[in-house]
Amino acid sequence: MDTERTAVNTAPYLLIVTFFTLATPVVLFSLRFLDDNRLTRWQWVFNGVDATRIFLLLIPAVMIAYGMSRIPFSEHKPVFLFLSAFAAASVFWSEPEVIVDTSRYFTQAKHLELYGVRYFFNEWGNSILAWTDLPLIPFLYGIILKLFGENRLYIQTFTALLFSLTAVLTYFIGRTLWDEDTGFHAGLLMLGIPYLFIQTPFMMVDVPTMFFLTLSVFTFIMAMEYGGAVWIVSSAVAIFFVIFCKYSTWPMLSVLFVTLVVYAGRDWRVPLVRSSLVTLAAVSLIGVVILLKLDFFIGQIKFLFSYQVPGLRRWGERFASTFLFQIHPFISAAALYSVYAAFRKRDLKYLIVSYLVILVFLFQIKRIRYVIPLLPMLTLMASYGLSDIRARDVRRFIVFCVIGSSLVLAVSVYLPFLQRYSTVNLREAGRYLDSLDIRDIEVFTLPQKRSFVNPAVAVPILDLFTDKEISYDYEVNRRFGRPIPEERLKKSSLRFTWLYKNPVYYRSGPKRQHRPGAIVVIAQRAKQPLPGYVRKKVKGYHPSRVFGTATGVFRYRTIVTVYERNGTGRSRVRSSHTP
């Protein structure tokens, strides 16, 4: 009898949720001009897409969401979260590496793979260009390459694992601060952020940084709750990891002070002692590394304040873009409502999860990549807001509608768009080169008109996708390149690409006695005229494959032509092209 009454009472609310689930994408599509995201802007991703088909896909997604909301999930919630997050992340492994920063991180990691850990730390910031990076994530990538081989799949598996563990940690934080449902729904809502899905497969530092920041919050909360050597040491190690992920996470660690203040409200003596032990252990670990390269870190910090901080004002995206288009608006709305709910309840613990999100708005941090590490805190806020809905099945239905809508958007719109990004040519060319019976290749990069990207950064990304030995003479390629006005370059977010240092493992040198098995030319457009130096090099070779996929949106393109020796391969040029 009670079950029937509950079903009847919640039916109107389920219908309301269904209506808004279906209506929200339609409204956003009509307002897509408000989205100014740098990578997956709705005006770009929906270009040439049948929006009606996407809308129709939402109907079965809602039906599945309803079915999922009826499952009790009484046990094994962390396992369900982990497996669901990993499965969702693996769907996007077919993406190419579309962000040029990958070139830098792969190069840093490959130095460790080839020359070892000691070389990596000794040469970090010297022969290994560090830009404004910190060494932890490239170090982990390098260890993976060294242990398992130079295959992108291992990196993607690692980042998918970290994404999945982040969802689990989010669950544990919510459960510890409030209750089981709040934690579980927060972990599930990590699957309701379309932009996060597409970031997970990249060889970048943002998703790993998100994991380590969430880990530091969780372990510090556990140290405050229970104390003990294990939690205190774990918290100190997690803080150490965060410090060496990204400089932008340093201010984010102030959330630990907020956590201390919240716990000190009960009995200040115990939390103060425990936090002091954590701080002492963390500072000891961090201090050892900082002192070894003190001048280098000081130089990086000075550069950050002179270049990166002012640049954030120029490189930002609208909050509307981030919190309505790239994050499901249900999450943003529930998080906004949670501020009122927490204020009404006078819940100080809420400050732990809301503090970092408040800082985003307070300091006008409008670059979505800087928001990624604190997304678990946003989903915790949203879950806290949803907890005011008394009917559990309605709450859970909302959560699964968010997940279904986000997956439909990410899989049906974002993923196909990114698969047309021109860097897919580097991946396909790498696979083709691996199919050839050759040992080495020589790469040439041609100038890019109206683009501020140094063409040379495409070479390491090609290297990521091929096992062939690459030679690349950076000085020769730069000689016939296009100069960039220095004043404009100083303010460009792509300035790092022009500080490219040709790794020693790409330097063929003047003593090379044999001709390469194949020559690869990376250009901005198909049939781009070859400079005289390149024309001379390709004598005795014929173009065998052209990889010309491009979205038509971005000025920087990587159109790849593979030249094979005459008498080998096919005489007819084959083209792989997507307009």
Model confidence at 577: pLDDT above 90: no
What pLDDT is attached to residue 572?
57
> Quick check: 6 pLDDT over 60?
no
Say if pTM beats, i.e. exceeds, 0.75: yes
Q: Are residues 187 and 295 in the same domain?
A: yes
Same domain, 91 and 221: yes
534 and 572 both lie in a single domain? yes
Instruction: Give the span between the Cα atoms of 300 and 339, in whole angstroms.
Output: 37
Distance from chain centroid for Cα 83: 19
Q: Count of domains in the chain? A: 2
pLDDT-derived band at 512, boundaries 50, 70, 90: low
Residues 337 and 452 in one domain: no
CA distance 472 to 454: 14
Rounded-to-10 torsion of CA 86, 197, 397, 337: 130
pLDDT for residue 157: 98
Q: Is residue 16 over pLDDT 60?
A: yes
Question: What is the SS3 assignment for 565?
Answer: strand
pLDDT at 307 over 90: no
Cβ pair 572, 529 in contact under 8 A? no
Sign of the dihedral through C-alpha 34, 38, 43, 49: negative
Digit-coded pLDDT (tens) for 356-403 = 999 999 999 999 999 999 999 999 999 999 999 999 999 999 999 999
- pLDDT, average across residues 162-173: 98
Largest Cα–Cα distance in the chain?
87
Structural domain for 440, as ranges: 424-576
Last residue of one domain, picked from the residues 367, 385, 418: 418
What is the predicted pLDDT for the residue at 510? 46
Lowest pLDDT segment from 119-128, 203-212, 486-495: 486-495
- Residue where a domain terminates, one of 355, 389, 418: 418
Residue 43, SS3 per DSSP: helix
Shared-domain flag, residues 478 and 503:
yes
The dihedrals phi and psi of 388, each to the nearest 5 degrees, come to -75, -15
Instruction: Give yes or no: residues 136 and 221 share one domain.
Output: yes
Q: Strands 541-547 and 574-576: what pairing? A: parallel
Label residue 7 by pLDDT band (50, 70, 90). very low
Residues 29 and 138 in one domain: yes
Question: Are 127 and 249 contained in the same domain?
Answer: yes
Find the mean pLDDT for residues 508-536: 84
Rounded CA separation 534/537 (Å): 5
For the residues 27-56, what does the mean pLDDT come to? 94
CA distance to 7, 172, 227, 286, 299, per residue, from 182 (Å): 22, 10, 24, 34, 43
The answer to whether residues 431 and 503 belong to one domain is: yes
Alpha-carbon 52 to chain mean position: 29
pLDDT at position 515 over 90 = no
Question: What is the C-alpha to C-alpha distance for residues 408 and 55, in angstroms, rounded to an integer?
Answer: 9
457 and 504 together in one domain: yes
User: Which run of H or E residues covers position 519?
Assistant: strand 518-523
- Assess whether 263 and 391 both reside in one domain: yes
Q: Kindly report, residue by residue over 415-472, the tens digit of the pLDDT.
A: 999 999 999 999 999 999 999 999 999 999 999 888 889 999 999 999 999 999 999 9
Domain boundary among 365, 392, 418: 418
- 406 and 448 both lie in a single domain: no
β-sheet with 559-565: strand ranges across: 469-471, 440-445, 518-523, 559-565, 541-547, 574-576
Mean of the per-residue pLDDT values of the chain = 92
pLDDT at 489: 72
